[in-house]
Structure 1
Amino acid sequence: MKNSQLKNPNPKINLKDIVEGKAMREHNTFEVNGTIYWADRISKDQLATHADCLICGKEFEKDYTYQRHCTSCELKIDSENFNKLELIEWDGKTPLCIWDSDTFFFSEDDIIM
């Protein structure tokens, strides 16, 4: 068997490539590359390996199931959210943390390394 005849085990699947249909007894189905999936057992988001960014419209490879934005747009959103935060002076008692992390600092000595 030639390599061109082998099925790709990890094909690129975009949400728009998934065809919705009906099977016997009116069950909803999805068809991807000739394989039919029952819609009550799996979602289109679980089948798709790629999606179109909701902000810029570029196709991107998904890192997790329900990802809706490409990496560059996610970084822009994250930066905008950080810049919206109010800048206040530290009282020396309240624990500090790194943005979007679970690393906390409880004293000045923890911060100065």
Structure 2
Amino acid sequence: MWCRTVVTTQQAAVVTLRRTDGTGQTARINTDGEIPLCTDVAAQDRFEFLAAPISTQAATASERLAVYDLASGRHLSIAVSTAEGLAGAWLWWAAGDNETMTWHLLDLTTLR
């Protein structure tokens, strides 16, 4: 069980996590521009998903999708997406435009 803190300044948002009993506080887990992907905190008690808008010239808005792995303390980029979400143990995202849209699903229970 984790709680999320987001402190927003004019320059950036800083996202940190802490267990509900006050232990396990993390340092900043996001890079500039990233905000939490959804309201659920630490999916599977391990993964915090983040998204940041990307400036593009295309008609379709894109975001950089990333994950912070609480088990390893690593921040990893996942994809550039046009839509994304989290449902239970499934992360989903779409990449491409209306003519080349590709959907992706990731079962979080399969990650080690």
- Band the TM-score falls in, shorter-chain normalisation: under 0.3
Larger Rg: 1
